[in-house]
């Protein structure tokens, strides 16, 4: 019931120096230089000296049902397990369908999200898939978002990709209208999470939609924007126009930028880092040479965060914001999520200072990782 994380270097994600954090039940009770629960029994004191304490990671693009399927039935990626998520430091995620809405569907996506929620992860989903008109649970995007608790927006809607349905501006406008209205009626984020492929037009279909309508730019979250250099340049311009951009972890193509290099370039170009988020695209298929297909790991997100800080020497606050407070604000979960402050959910990641490896992970005050080892596993995990 009562826990005190003692004397850790606290990033809320802003650097607050060495502090204690008190957890009562599933919430953060206080953050201060020295906290004592005098007179109370069964207070667990957890020494966090030589540790970094930060909010749990929010990953707004995860194929929890499994991605893939583009090389036949045997290429369908299996469903995600609990420890695939917790060992990556993720405490909140958003599930997506992706390209395959034939062998997978919204009913399955919502059910998987509910299963992971039961096991301890805070989960949400986008309604839809690559195609427009898109997949839904209730038959309409607006009612999905307004009435289904787990559904907070649409995604991942594909543009500039031969695998997309090549939607017209009019079709995207209708979808955006249902998305934003569903969000308003249901008090949800009401965002459109947009998959941008390697096609020649890049962000242009989205820019045309915004320029020819009255939708606010920030309701659209285009992703994979570090996949090639031309697209990345468009992304920087989009931020200057008030847009939100999302970069994908694990990018290694020579045509694009890795997350550490992309973040460095954004900072050097004075881009507003409050409008930048990172996601893993975890559990989706990753094509390699020779026709083989690998699986994207949720843990690649934390790997890239480490590289930003340890190899590229980037400011830890700026980097952490992309997967905490920035993401929470995009998803309309702030201040309950994405920040360490009084009253927020006790979603807390404890890292070892030297290599930024995971020492502990708490989700709503419950310990899921201890000394780098999972202490809670999913129902079907050994």
Q: What does R_g of the chain's alpha carbons equal in angstroms?
A: 20
* Residues acting as catalytic residues: 281
This prediction has a pTM of 0.96
Token pair in block for residue 263: 């973040």
Question: pLDDT means per 10 residues in the chain (382 residues)?
Answer: 95 98 98 90 94 99 92 90 99 96 96 98 98 97 99 98 95 98 98 97 97 96 97 97 96 94 98 98 72 78 98 98 99 99 99 98 98 97 83
Give bridge partners of residue 192 from the DSSP assignment: 154, 220
Q: Which domains, from first to last, does the chain contain? A: 2-54+339-374 (2.30.40.10), 56-330 (3.20.20.140)
Which residues have a Cβ under 8 Å from the Cβ of 278 and sit 6 or more positions away? 246, 247, 248, 249, 259, 301, 304, 305, 322, 323
- pLDDT recorded at residue 39: 80
Strands (E), 264-377: 276-279, 285-287, 293-295, 348-352, 358-363, 366-370, 373-374
Which residues have a Cβ under 8 Å from the Cβ of 349 and sit 6 or more positions away? 53, 54, 55, 56, 57, 89, 91, 358, 360, 361, 362
Query: At 115, is the secondary structure helix, strand, or coil?
Result: helix
Query: At 298, is the secondary structure helix, strand, or coil?
Result: coil
Q: List the one residue out of 304, 320, 321 whose CA is nearest residue 312.
A: 304
């Amino acid at each position: 019931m009562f826990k005190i994380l003692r004397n850790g270097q606290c990033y809320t994600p802003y650097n607050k120096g060495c502090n204690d954090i008190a957890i009562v039940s599933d919430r953060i009770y206080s953050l201060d230089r020295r906290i004592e629960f005098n007179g109370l029994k069964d207070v667990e004191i957890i020494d966090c000296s030589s540790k970094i304490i930060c909010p749990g990671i929010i990953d707004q693009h995860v194929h929890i049902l499994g991605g893939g399927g583009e090389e036949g039935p045997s290429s369908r990626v299996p469903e995600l397990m609990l420890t695939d998520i917790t060992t990556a430091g993720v405490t909140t995620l958003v599930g997506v369908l992706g390209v395959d809405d034939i062998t997978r569907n919204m009913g399955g996506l919502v059910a998987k999200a509910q299963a992971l929620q039961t096991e301890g992860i805070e989960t949400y989903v986008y309604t839809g898939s690559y195609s427009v008109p898109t997949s839904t649970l209730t038959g309409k995007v607006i009612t999905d978002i307004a009435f289904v608790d787990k559904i907070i927006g649409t995604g991942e809607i594909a543009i500039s990709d031969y695998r997309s349905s090549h939607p017209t501006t009019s079709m995207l406008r209708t979808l955006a209208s249902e998305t934003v209205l569903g969000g308003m009626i249901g008090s949800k984020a009401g965002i459109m999470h947009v998959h941008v492929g390697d096609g020649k037009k890049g962000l242009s279909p989205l820019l045309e939609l915004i320029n020819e309508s009255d939708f606010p730019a920030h309701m659209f979250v285009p992703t994979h924007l570090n996949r090639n250099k031309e697209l990345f340049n468009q992304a920087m311009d989009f931020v200057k126009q008030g847009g939100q951009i999302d970069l994908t972890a694990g990018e290694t193509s020579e045509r694009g930028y890795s997350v550490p290099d992309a973040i460095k370039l954004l900072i050097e170009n004075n881009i507003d880092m409050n409008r930048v988020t990172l996601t893993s695209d975890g559990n989706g298929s990753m094509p390699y040479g020779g026709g083989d297909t690998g699986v994207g790991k949720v843990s690649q997100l934390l790997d890239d965060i480490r590289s930003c800080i340890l190899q590229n020497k980037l400011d830890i606050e700026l980097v952490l914001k992309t997967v905490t407070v920035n993401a929470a604000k995009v998803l309309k979960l702030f201040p309950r999520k994405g920040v360490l402050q009084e009253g927020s959910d006790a979603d807390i990641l404890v890292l070892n200072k030297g290599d930024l490896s995971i020492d502990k992970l708490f989700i709503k005050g419950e310990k899921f990782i201890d000394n780098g080892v999972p202490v809670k596993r999913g129902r079907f995990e050994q």
